[in-house]
Amino acid sequence: MDVRTYIESGIVEEYCLGLLLEHQCEEVRRLAALFPEIQKEIEITEAALFAYLDTPPRPALKGQMLGALQNWKKLFN
């Protein structure tokens, strides 16, 4: 198995974001137990995602999102 190609496929990110089906999650966990590089990539990705949670949004983002929601509401009303 080419571990680097597996990691670069994006499956680790999908796993960390909870986007995979259960059997796919099981496969990632199984491979992470076999290949330390995959486990390390999971840890790095999770740390990056948690760090991102601590980043406050730009103040202008609230206005942009509210405007987008108002436009969406107009389309469907």
DSSP-assigned letters across all residues of 19-68: -S-HHHHHHHHHHHHH-HHHHHHHHHHHHHHHHHHTSPPPHHHHHHHHHH
Q: Give the model confidence (pLDDT) of 2-57 as tens digits.
A: 999 999 999 999 999 999 999 999 999 999 999 999 999 999 999 999 888 877 87
Q: What is the pLDDT of residue 17?
A: 94
The pTM of the full predicted model, rounded to 2 decimals, is 0.71
